[in-house]
Chain A
């Protein structure tokens, strides 16, 4: 088991964002978080990637209490792709991807040949090798997303937490991206947790799905079984008829 969440609550001041989340994320699984805006998908991802700390409840990483794992060791195992990205200072693409090597370096070392090799092959994998000398600020949304994914790959972690990774990608790159994820899955024993609104991508890539609504887990299970018209209609408060043409199983089970 990679992650085990036990009755996690998360509050921002008086507002409850997540309540009573209990989940097991198995090693090697691809899990999607699906739900309406404001359901707490990003917050849950941030808790898994340790950007936020749960207000209550326990989170275990590989059967160890999360706070007993040092931040540095954790960052060798889990990387995180945020939903929005803004850097206050100019940075070149290759330099940014090289920063993904941080958990494996100490503060004084310069990047060695191995770091460079890993970073460049990460850029190749996400198909943005040609951008390596460009300034990150000058890239388009989709390019930025792929560069940051390369940064996550350069971090060489076994868990990837991706917050809406296909939002800014065009059709071609959406397909390439899901192919990339599938390839990674077959190559290494990757675990991926991602938040998404993209149903065909979800169906294509993720074996498990978590339905989140108003900060609670509504349903959790096998993607094939969960992704039915009636379930989705219920999750998003939609009439069933409006879901015609979506890649969903026709009949509820």
Chain B
């Protein structure tokens, strides 16, 4: 049985790990700093470039992992990820459209609306929030939007192409305090709300019948939780582009270690996901200096083999347990 003590203890050492990753990420980059310089807040590179970027990677990783947990619980599908209902392809189409229209500075806004509109469309078409019809509608929409994206890209000039590609491959290089501070309240409120619902997620993940007979209005809560989670994902996608595999691999790692109770699964996924993207982005910035590779490429390169390793080890994705 889960106790508050276990949650606090586990989260403390994960937080400690996150703090170390945070410091290392600030220290390393195109310009490398000594440990003394890391705490020198008069340094412009540290305060206005490094720190916002590292914080963004933390937020993106944490939010995507959380979104993965919630989607898996509500769709009752261990292979669901934040992008399963068309959020990513919607965002890609939106941002490419912004580029084609010459509105590059509005790229995040277009991406946000692209993402959010696709999820609203899926919820509207699937009518009932049963997991099968949602996933099917999501898959179909993903196909449709992928062809639309290809169409847009074939119409684009080389400069527009490169600008779209950077976004589609996922990058944290557009970060600034300005945008981050504007979106931070929405992100934090969504995360807190979803954590508040963690026990509810335990019940919802049992299935509709069970949840109903335990007094939970399944349709209502599924809809609320899906909307909030998609809102969170759409914000993250608009900030960072498509960073794949985080929302799949992190929740499963956390399930594997700490079990499927959402009261511990959510905080551990948040902390683990934040650390993971922070490390991945630091590697993306430093591995091939002076070039920077897209962080989305790196998370997939690390994520896919990890996934296969879990499978080979005999990890059962259906019951999410060794």
Residues of A within 8 A of B (CB): 46, 49-51, 70-76, 78-80, 82, 86-92, 94-95, 98-100, 102-103, 105, 107-111, 116, 135, 137, 155
Contacts and interface: CB of A to CB of B under 8 A. Distances in A.
B291 interface: no
Nearest to A103: B215
B1 A80 contact: no
B255 interface: yes
Interface string B176-219: 00000000000000000000111110110111111011111100
B303 interface: no
A99 B78 contact: no
A73 B190 CA distance: 29
Nearest to A79: B213
B217 A95 contact: no
A59 to B, nearest CB: 15
Given A50-B212, A99-B206, A102-B216, A89 B319 contact: yes
Contacts of B1: 92, 94-95, 98, 111, 116
A89 B213 contact: no
A92 B3 CA distance: 14
A110 B3 contact: yes
10 contacts: A71-B212, A71-B216, A72-B215, A75-B214, A89-B260, A90-B260, A99-B202, A102-B214, A135-B319, A137-B321
Contact of A90 (B210, B213, B217, B259): B259
Sorted nearest first, the 10 A-B pairs with minimum C-beta distance are A75-B215, A90-B321, A72-B215, A89-B260, A80-B213, A102-B214, A103-B215, A88-B76, A137-B319, A90-B319
A76 B215 contact: yes
Nearest to B211: A102
B2 interface: yes
Given A88-B318, A90-B260, A99-B203, A107 B196 contact: yes
Contacts of B215: 70-76, 102-103
B77 interface: yes
B209 A82 contact: yes
Given A89-B78, A103-B215, A137-B321, A110 B206 contact: no
A123 B44 CA distance: 62
Interface of B: 1-4, 72-73, 76-78, 196-200, 202-203, 205-210, 212-217, 255, 259-261, 263, 318-321
Determine chain B's interface SS by DSSP, over half rule.
loop
Contacts of B199: 105, 107-109
B212 A155 contact: no
Contact of A95 (B73, B261, B320, B321): B261
A99 B319 contact: no
Contacts of A86: 207
Contact of B78 (A49, A88, A95): A88
B233 to A, nearest CB: 21
A75 B213 contact: yes
Contact of A49 (B200, B206, B213, B321): B213
B98 to A, nearest CB: 38
A154 B107 CA distance: 53
A50 B321 CA distance: 32
A51 B203 contact: no
Given A87-B207, A88-B78, A110-B4, A51 B319 contact: no
Contact of B209 (A51, A105, A107, A111): A51
B267 to A, nearest CB: 14
Contacts of A116: 1
Contacts of B72: 88-89
Nearest to B77: A88
A145 B54 CA distance: 50
A88 B259 contact: no
Contact of A89 (B209, B212, B214, B320): B320
A50 B248 CA distance: 34
Contacts of A89: 72-73, 78, 205, 255, 260, 319-320
B200 A107 contact: yes
B214 A99 contact: yes
B319 to A, nearest CB: 4
A99 B260 CA distance: 13
Contact of B213 (A50, A70, A94): A50
